[in-house]
Structure 1
Amino acid sequence: MTGQRLSVTRRTVLRGAVAAGTLAGTAATLRPTLASADPSRGVVVLGGGVAGLTAAHELAERGFDVTLYERRALGGKARSIPVPGSGRDGRPELMGEHGFRFFPGFYRHIPDTMRRIPFAGNANGVWDNLIAAPEARFSRRDADDVILPLGRAGRIWATPDDFRETVGSAIATSTKMSESDALYFANRLLVFNTSCDARRYGQWDKVSWRDYVGAGRRSTEFRMLLSRTLTTLLVAAKDDLASTLTIGNMGEQFLGNPLEVANDGALDRLLNGSTNEAWIDPWVARLRELGVKFATGEVRGLDIADGRITAARIVDGSGAARQIEADYFVCAVPTEVARTLWSPEILSRRPDLAGMSQLMVDWMTGIQFFLKREIGIARGHVAYVDSPWSLTSISQNQFWARTPVTGLGDGTVRDCLSVDISDWNTPGLLYGKPAKECTHDEIAREVWAQLKAHLNDQRELLADADLHSWFLDTGITWDGANKRNTNADPLLINTAGSWALRPESHTADIENLFLAGDYVRTNVDLATMEGASEAARTAVNALLEVSGSNAPRCRLFTLYRASELEPFRQLDIARFKSGQPNLFDAPL
């Protein structure tokens, strides 16, 4: 096959120092002053999800010429999906989603980028399209539901005992859990929060969350809320698989930071319109203004010689195979795609990539129910705690002030209940089959039945007459011959022991290859938009070093840790090194 050289140029450096803080505080453009550069040099970004768009954004702001290849749709798992044929009488089509968007306050990288995406009428760009959800609901079958107000707590603790009592009391009061269970969990959270890094990565990452919290010896309420629900909501993983490192990090942010210190905003935030309208489309427009070029293409392989990637083998939008040459390659495709690219020649240079073959992916995918009336379920997210398919939902119209659902479709839709299915492997209520083995119609009926079983046990909140239509993520495809679904967009699962299997963004062994997927080791350590953004920034910083650029490095943020507990983390360094348990780690 004849190689085709991509005409992309690397404009090497910014003249003059630009403070890194300038990149975060405003939607204003970073305008580089460019030095002369070899016109044959450039950057290819493979993948147009959050990681790829972030890498392209950071590189373009620093004067690089970038071409991005995406196989299907820009935005990846974060995109909106128009419902084909749903618009009537000049109205836009209804909007589906791979899953509802959730922007916790401890996210820092995504909001930093959002502030640099201009949006008409917004002083802070796309960031101003984020709005806070004031509450969350935990719905149980045949039991009282718990509605939690979300907001800053009135005080913070001063000592470990105060931590246990404050967190334990808050859990017991808000969940109706026994005081002994609540205090026990608060102590397990204290153990993690006072663990040093060496223990977190060397011990807790190797332990499943269920074993860490001793769920098998606690109450049903404890197992459902603090073991099962936490893991399925965050990482679509079962509690016997999920890494304590990952779940502990999230618990430290949600429960260990009552005053939201160092947060970007409120604990739970959503967009005020469909994801494409409120975020992705303005982002792509901004990248085009910065000179990023977009092309349809699916990467099938990487050629390597003398420790450098010489070309990416692409099948373009017309189905033609091409070789794309450039000086730098940013691989921003997801886990299950990236690991197919690691040829024996690449693995001989970077043996650390071999561990990716053992990383686990599973499904966490959305379905939207379009309703004929607004449903007052909750002013925020709802977790259906004991639903077989680990469902969560959000009623969108109450938040979509920018483009209400009522203005979409045929004019009769009044709300959209957007539901995430986190467990595709457990049999459901109606058909006794897991979601992977259900037809699309069966999936819709099953999810609807599980929602009603939770919401209608006290009074009817959801009626069949409310349903206008439904839409399942197009990444889910029914294979009639094998009587099961396939999924084009699985999710990386942070299982126990998976940290050792995940690579760094860059090593000198292949000097011009940079990894920017959410499987890369990151501080946030979670397969999310935030993890993808952090990984992309790390990749760009490595590229800047290799290229000799003096452009300002991308800002990187770390997760919050309570300063009040820092002396105990320092103490834990010596304890872990000598083989002793954490000071507060009492026998389970």
Structure 2
Amino acid sequence: MSEQICAPASCARRPTVAVLGAGIAGLTAAQELVERGFAVTVYEARQDERNGLGPEPAGTYPPVKLGGLAASQYSTVGAEGGSQAELRPFPGRRGRPLAPGRAVAGEHGFRFFPAYYLHTWDMFQRIPVYQHNGKAGWTPTSRTVYDNVRRVITQGMTVAGKPSLVFPRELPRSPAEFLGILSQIAGLGFTAGDLATFQSRVLRYLVTSPLRRARELENLSAYDFFVGYDSATGSRQFSYSPDFDALLRKMPRVLAAFDSRWGDARTNITTYLQLYLNMDRHDDKADGVLNGPTTEAWFDNWYHHLVALGVHFVRGAASRLDPLPFDPSQPPHLRPRVQITFADSTRVTPDYTVVAVDAPAAEYITSPLRAAGTGGTVGRLDGFTTLAPPPDGPLQPISTRSQQRRNPYDMDELGRVPWDRFQTLCGIQYYFDTEFQLLRGHMLYAGTDWALSSINQHGFWEKQPILDRDGHVAVLSVDVGDFNNPSRHLGKAARDCSPDEIAAEVWRQIVAALTGNDESLAAETMPWPAWYALDRGLKMAAGPGQGQGRMVQNETPYLVPVVGDWTNRPSSDPWNPHGTSWSSAPPEDWWLEDLELRNVWQARHGGYQVHNNSVVFAGTWNKTFTRMTSMEAACESARHAVNAILDHYIWVASGGLDRRQKTTLDWEFPFGFLDQGLSSPIRMPTPAGDYCYVFDIENREPADTRLLRMLDSKFCEQSLPHPLDAPAALALGALNSLVPPPAGGR
């Protein structure tokens, strides 16, 4: 480049950005962009539901609901005993519960911040906690949202017919503690061979390169990896005792609706490893939950901070994105940007548009772009949520799949087969009028029909609920991980139940798991909930509000990792500015063809795509290093989207001549150590502002295994089996260099 490129903040006109959606992805993109000098407006369709109902006076809340799926859900008692607004009396309760005087807070299941959520922890440290100072309004304090996180040090688990177990969320501090944990495991009926075989498979995964994981393990289920399944012979190399085999099959269901038989090995095992590695942390943020409802402890502070930075919030739902006509002879970097049309018919044409809505909405509003021939992510969104899953399994060839369309929010069409990429993962909140804290941490109810997990949320809150004001003093937040498996007690699945049936059956399964189905023990030891609130995204067949009868709609379909489905995600591969991660870059001919013909731009080093000179996508349905649908994936995807905007902005500012092969400074990293902390000590600069730092969780795996992992990468590049599977390969001189340079995950 022959002339200096001005940063967005120093230009005569600051480039404008419209962020569609005020979830975690949208808010992250807004903060990263406004800090780099862009003028940002966030559009969100939903209003904050607390006005006149929450703990603060009406009119003091944001104009829109923030946080998306992660936001707290505030419920009140409806005019008809709970049918109109979400708080309902627990069926079969004893006596008349005290009605709360204001809306009560609950969560979409529960919030959980493991130590490997490095993007989220980094953002926590950059959001001040605000307080209201009379006429001065909302002012920042010296504290940050990071200080609002409380450490969780225990985890419980129930196994059928056995006492409930409690495990520390940290490594044993002494041989005595280690032996105590071993005795617990032995009590589950597992053998020494079970543990040895399982650990050997985990170690084998650790010495497998990201390249081989991408080529082989994304098309293999987690269960098949642990049993060493050979598709050619149909045989298994490893076996386990019946008790351990059942745990391998069922346990992942209680963790974000994972499925060991249909979930891909790379996503499932990488996530498991990160949860295990959390226990090696000895700071106060190894495993955390917030000290209050998520909206109050996090999103309210985020809103005040973004407003202070200059972000504007507008209530509005985008109905379509339209490409504007252009002269084909016009240089690509000068072609017009996309126009946004909102539900009220207003239109805006910003310089950039960040689409941070859920996948069904993204597919819907981008249909005009696809009709105009735009490719890349936009083109691959077609059918991503609306095509029915293949009837013969996730690996059925695309050419033989049905093209039948569906409503992705319809419960009759959503998640009917376990390999449907969209499932129902929702929560239920139980409110008690007496103190009830089962465990100061998360409980996993292994083997329950509906794959349940829970936490007593209020035990970590600074402001405890008060009975006379809130109608309760304790909250149990429960995630229902399997809406499709029939209950052995009811004879039907959760998806076919009414709200009262779900509330009663979930509570029955919890009590049965804790008491070993001893009804007399249950009556003597367990309290009864006074109220319950079912996840707001679930809608019933009849009545106002959420309604009554069986559920017919899920407004929050949950994307699960399915065998062979990673390549079907619409976005391109994530890119790590530090260059320590395996990624892909577009070939030269692709770059020219898509820029000229399909209006898709991508930086030469790879990363997210920019469509029609303006549109980028963010959200959990995009490809991320986190992989699993989570708050962390949302935060990470937004950083990738912002990095793509920075690269595109530089390309446009350089007159369309910027073809940078090398975009970052040279740094030497010992085994990607930067991904170990909660924030990066090195920020990669660009003329438009620093790249957002991106954490790759596979770089956080133990350095002890890194050399063999990099060696395996060399083997995989030459289509050779893993070094441990082909010891003769070294003697045959298969490699020119046995040990590649220590460049992170490459």
TM tier relative to shorter chain: 0.7 to 0.9
* Map of 2:340 onto structure 1: 312
Candidates 423, 426, 441, aligned match of 2:485: 426
CA contact (8 A) 1:304 1:346 kept: no
Moved more, 388-397 or 457-466: 457-466
Measured against aligned partners, the alpha-carbon deviations of 1:501-541 in whole angstroms (never above 9, x if no partner) come to: 12126325533111111122111111100000000011111
- Deviation for aligned residue 1:251: 2.2
* Map of 1:38 onto structure 2: 13
| Distance change (3 Å), C-alpha of 1:175 and 1:273 | farther
CA contact (8 A) 2:16 2:38 kept: yes
| Distance change (3 Å), C-alpha of 1:377 and 1:580 | farther
| Distance change (3 Å), C-alpha of 1:509 and 1:68 | closer
Separation in structure 2 between the aligned mates of residue 303 and residue 408 of structure 1, nearest angstrom: 52
CA contact (8 A) 1:366 1:418 kept: yes
* Map of 2:148 onto structure 1: 129
* Map of 1:416 onto structure 2: 475
Candidates 42, 66, 75, aligned match of 1:83: 75
Q: Aligned AA for 2:504?
A: R
1:221 and 2:271 matched = no
2:458 aligned counterpart, secondary structure = coil
Measured against aligned partners, the alpha-carbon deviations of 1:407-433 in whole angstroms (never above 9, x if no partner) come to: 367455221110011111111244322
- Deviation for aligned residue 1:336: 2.2
* Map of 2:298 onto structure 1: 279
Q: Aligned AA for 1:488?
A: E
| Distance change (3 Å), C-alpha of 1:557 and 1:522 | same
Moved over 6 A (4+): 86-90, 168-171, 461-464
CA contact (8 A) 1:236 1:422 kept: yes
CA contact (8 A) 1:169 1:183 kept: no
Candidates 537, 542, 558, aligned match of 2:696: 558
Q: Aligned AA for 1:191?
A: R
1:248 aligned counterpart, secondary structure = helix
* Map of 1:26 onto structure 2: none
* Map of 1:511 onto structure 2: 613
* Map of 1:487 onto structure 2: 554
* Map of 2:456 onto structure 1: 395
| Distance change (3 Å), C-alpha of 1:378 and 1:200 | same
Measured against aligned partners, the alpha-carbon deviations of 1:133-159 in whole angstroms (never above 9, x if no partner) come to: 11111112322322111114559xxxx
Separation in structure 2 between the aligned mates of residue 241 and residue 148 of structure 1, nearest angstrom: 28
- Deviation for aligned residue 1:47: 0.9
* Map of 1:466 onto structure 2: 528
* Map of 1:243 onto structure 2: 264
After TM superposition, the score normalised by the length of structure 1 is 0.84
- Give unpaired runs (5+ residues) of structure 2: 47-64, 78-86, 88-96, 132-140, 229-235, 327-334, 386-420, 543-547, 573-606, 651-686, 727-746
CA contact (8 A) 1:172 1:179 kept: no
CA contact (8 A) 1:12 1:36 kept: yes
1:201 aligned counterpart, secondary structure = helix
* Map of 2:361 onto structure 1: 337
1:326 aligned counterpart, secondary structure = coil
Moved more, 277-286 or 375-384: 375-384
Candidates 38, 44, 60, aligned match of 1:64: 38
CA contact (8 A) 2:338 2:615 kept: no
* Map of 1:570 onto structure 2: 710
Moved more, 47-56 or 510-519: 510-519
| Distance change (3 Å), C-alpha of 1:13 and 1:409 | farther
Q: Aligned AA for 1:229?
A: M
1:255 aligned counterpart, secondary structure = helix
1:62 aligned counterpart, secondary structure = coil
After TM superposition, the score normalised by the length of structure 2 is 0.67
1:427 aligned counterpart, secondary structure = coil
Moved more, 432-441 or 358-367: 358-367
Measured against aligned partners, the alpha-carbon deviations of 1:317-336 in whole angstroms (never above 9, x if no partner) come to: xxx23322111000101122
Candidates 112, 117, 138, aligned match of 2:122: 112
User: How do 1:180-329 and structure 2 match up within 5 A?
Assistant: 180-214=193-227, 217-230=239-252, 232-256=253-277, 258-260=279-281, 266-305=285-324, 309-315=337-343, 320-329=344-353
| Identity across the alignment (%) | 30
Separation in structure 2 between the aligned mates of residue 389 and residue 36 of structure 1, nearest angstrom: 56
- Deviation for aligned residue 1:191: 1.4
Q: Highest Rg: 1 or 2?
A: 2
* Map of 2:54 onto structure 1: none
CA contact (8 A) 2:43 2:314 kept: yes
1:384 and 2:445 matched = yes
CA contact (8 A) 1:189 1:251 kept: no
Candidates 393, 400, 404, aligned match of 2:464: 404
| Distance change (3 Å), C-alpha of 1:410 and 1:430 | farther
1:95 and 2:157 matched = no
Separation in structure 2 between the aligned mates of residue 53 and residue 95 of structure 1, nearest angstrom: 21
Candidates 372, 375, 378, aligned match of 1:350: 375
Separation in structure 2 between the aligned mates of residue 371 and residue 90 of structure 1, nearest angstrom: 12
| Distance change (3 Å), C-alpha of 1:174 and 1:518 | farther
- Deviation for aligned residue 1:267: 3.6
Separation in structure 2 between the aligned mates of residue 196 and residue 479 of structure 1, nearest angstrom: 49
| Distance change (3 Å), C-alpha of 1:313 and 1:12 | farther
| Distance change (3 Å), C-alpha of 1:91 and 1:125 | farther
Separation in structure 2 between the aligned mates of residue 170 and residue 543 of structure 1, nearest angstrom: 54
- Deviation for aligned residue 1:243: 1.2
CA contact (8 A) 2:251 2:446 kept: yes
* Map of 2:191 onto structure 1: 178
Q: Aligned AA for 1:196?
A: S
| Distance change (3 Å), C-alpha of 1:226 and 1:446 | same
Measured against aligned partners, the alpha-carbon deviations of 1:76-126 in whole angstroms (never above 9, x if no partner) come to: 111011112479999653212112000001111111111111115964401
- Deviation for aligned residue 1:463: 6.2
Equivalences, count: 538
Separation in structure 2 between the aligned mates of residue 56 and residue 50 of structure 1, nearest angstrom: 10
CA contact (8 A) 1:537 1:555 kept: yes
Q: Aligned AA for 1:70?
A: E
* Map of 1:437 onto structure 2: 496
Separation in structure 2 between the aligned mates of residue 221 and residue 181 of structure 1, nearest angstrom: 10
* Map of 1:371 onto structure 2: 432
Separation in structure 2 between the aligned mates of residue 364 and residue 409 of structure 1, nearest angstrom: 33
Q: Aligned AA for 2:349?
A: E
- Deviation for aligned residue 1:258: 4.9
CA contact (8 A) 2:437 2:474 kept: no
Q: Aligned AA for 1:275?
A: T
* Map of 2:505 onto structure 1: 446
